[in-house]
Amino acid sequence: MIRFDNSYARMPQGFYARVDPTPVTAPRLLALNGALADRLGMDRDALTVEMLAGNAIPDGAVPLAQAYAGHQFGGFVPQLGDGRAVLLGEIVAPDGARFDIQLKGSGPTPFSRRGDGRAWMGPVLREYVVSEFMAAMGVPTTRALAAVATGDQVWRDQGGLPGAVLTRVAASHIRVGTFQYFAVRDDRARLQALTDHVIARHYPDADGALALLERVVAAQAETIAQWMALGFIHGVMNTDNMAISGETIDYGPCAFMDGYHPQTVFSSIDRQGRYAWANQPDIAVWNLAQFATCLIPLMGEEEAAVEAATKAVHGFAPLYQAAWRRRFGAKLGIDGAAHQALIERLLTLMATERADFTRVFAGLSDGTARDEFTDRAGFDAWSRDWQALSPDQAVIARANPRRIPRNHRIEQAIASAVAGDMAPFERLFQAVTHPRDLHADWADLALPPAPAEAVRQTFCGT
Ligand code: AMP
Ligand code: MG
């Protein structure tokens, strides 16, 4: 049995639409994250395939679709909302932490617009493996509890594809866009109710809207610095995909860089490169400015509120830069604040040759980083200066994954899963959720793609 305690369902009318998942034809378990179930204190036997598919609603669940708005690629959409997901409810883990349990791909809701409310196996498995890798590296993120195949087809540009449902776990699914939904409607009462809810749930020591803004700015600065340090590109940093908890959310067209270049973009819909790797901190600031705009009406006298909110948003840059220096310093086993220029020299060398981001840093542990460069003399010169600082090898080994969920491997695993073979997915999952282990059996998963295997574009999770 799962013990739900649904605080969001107790929010006033207008926060969500009550809607049950739509049953599917022939649910089949693709993956179940037993370690996460244990961490959440969820009885594995209660996680039946019928429940995970949305065919059986567990006792105590109050399924609902959350309302939210959002800026998509800079353009404001006053109503988005959960169009293909339902929040089953919330649970409180043994350590007291509260989590949303959400089914994604569970059928239409009042927010579906023209969408079918479904997901296909590809994006479900991509989110599953990438979010669990992020968790293994200590990046704040939503988690993946289960993936089931529905037995139904969904229709996309590529034709008919096997449907799937992801069970997603989050500290909450409240986004910048949730605030925008009420702000754009001038609904002061609900904005205040949402703010109170979020403070109680995520930032209990914040004493009002301004303090909340400062906390979210700080949380996002840390999260984005961690993305950067892993070569992660989110791909759709719309305000509806930025979580107030600071967790990474919505792994649609996300990807990790193989060869390093700061302007790398994968998403097929990001034609201008708005959400390129190097732009992510600036976009975070832009999104946080939208969040601040929502909160200003709750912050007292307007002129002073605008000034305080602006200052809070400007607080992102120093926090982010400090986090960046700390993260990249750890990747090199040195004090990043004292040696920022050395970090940047290495990145410049890497960008010139599009050296493999993950292999260069992992290779600093075993002397193989040099092999990633054709300009060996350039690397050697840098390396002498680096070695002179006596880098801390234990710190390097912790900060740098040996394996990441590389695009080509994800796509191979999805292709096998579609063909009925989950073994490559399970192997990839094990390898990237133990990302620092030196393990000879997984050596091939640490390799960059051969030219013919390289994936240059990723597609949204629709
Ligand atoms: P995303 O770009 O994935 O963050 O989604 C943006 C909006 O489109 C959200 O409101 C989603 O719920 C909605 N959406 C995406 N895919 C579908 C779908 N297949 N059916 C219904 N709504 C969808
Ligand atoms: Mg989204």
Read off the pLDDT of residues 429-454 as tens digits, 9 standing for 90 and up: 999 999 999 999 999 999 999 988 88
Cα of 286 vs centre of ligand 1, distance in Å, is 22
Say yes or no: 221 and 95 in one domain: no
Say yes or no: 164 and 297 in one domain: no
Does ligand 1 lie within 6 Å of residue 83's CB atom? Answer: yes
Cα of 175 vs centre of ligand 1, distance in Å, is 14
Does residue 183 form part of some domain? no
Q: What is the pLDDT of residue 282?
A: 98
Last residue of a domain, which of 265, 298, 324? 324
pLDDT for 462 beyond 70: no
Average pLDDT along the chain: 97
Q: What is the pLDDT of residue 79?
A: 97
Does ligand 1 lie within 6 Å of residue 106's CB atom? Answer: no
* pLDDT-based confidence at residue 456 (cuts at 50, 70, 90): confident
Note if 240 is an active site residue.
yes
List, in order, residues 6 or more apart from 219 with CB less than 8 Å away.
140, 245, 246
Does ligand 1 lie within 6 Å of residue 112's CB atom? Answer: yes
For range 69-86, the mean pLDDT: 97
Does residue 395 form part of some domain? no
Last residue of a domain, which of 324, 342, 358? 324
Phi, psi of 185 (to 5 degrees): -90, 5
Say yes or no: 156 and 233 in one domain: no
For range 265-271, the mean pLDDT: 90
Counts for the chain of helices (H) and strands (E), in that order: 15, 12
Q: Output 277-280 pairs: Cβ under 8 A, ≥24 positions apart.
A: 277/228, 277/231, 277/232, 277/233, 280/224, 280/227, 280/228, 280/233, 280/234, 280/237
Q: What is the pLDDT of residue 252?
A: 87
Say yes or no: 163 and 21 in one domain: yes
Q: Which residues pair with 462 in a beta bridge?
A: none
Say yes or no: 164 and 211 in one domain: no
pLDDT for 224 beyond 80: yes
* pLDDT-based confidence at residue 271 (cuts at 50, 70, 90): confident
Cα of 112 vs centre of ligand 1, distance in Å, is 7
Nearest CA to ligand 1 atom 13: 83
Contact 458, 268 (CB under 8 A): yes
Does ligand 1 lie within 6 Å of residue 80's CB atom? Answer: yes
Per annotation, catalytic residue among 240, 250, 258, 270: 240
Say yes or no: 117 and 36 in one domain: yes
pLDDT for 189 beyond 80: yes
Does residue 242 form part of some domain? yes
Say yes or no: 141 and 258 in one domain: no
Does residue 436 form part of some domain? no
Say yes or no: 165 and 250 in one domain: no
Contact 364, 396 (CB under 8 A): yes
pLDDT for 362 beyond 80: yes
Q: What is the pLDDT of residue 457?
A: 84
Does ligand 1 lie within 6 Å of residue 254's CB atom? Answer: no
Does residue 434 form part of some domain? no
As for how many domains the chain has, the answer is 2
For 94, the domain range is 8-170
Maximum Cα–Cα distance across the chain: 66
Say yes or no: 15 and 142 in one domain: yes
Say yes or no: 309 and 222 in one domain: yes
For range 70-97, the mean pLDDT: 97
Say yes or no: 150 and 214 in one domain: no
Return the best residue to mutate from 80, 157, 250 for the ligand 1 pocket (most ligand atoms within 8 A of CB).
80
Cα of 250 vs centre of ligand 2, distance in Å, is 5
Say yes or no: 153 and 45 in one domain: yes
Does ligand 1 lie within 6 Å of residue 252's CB atom? Answer: yes
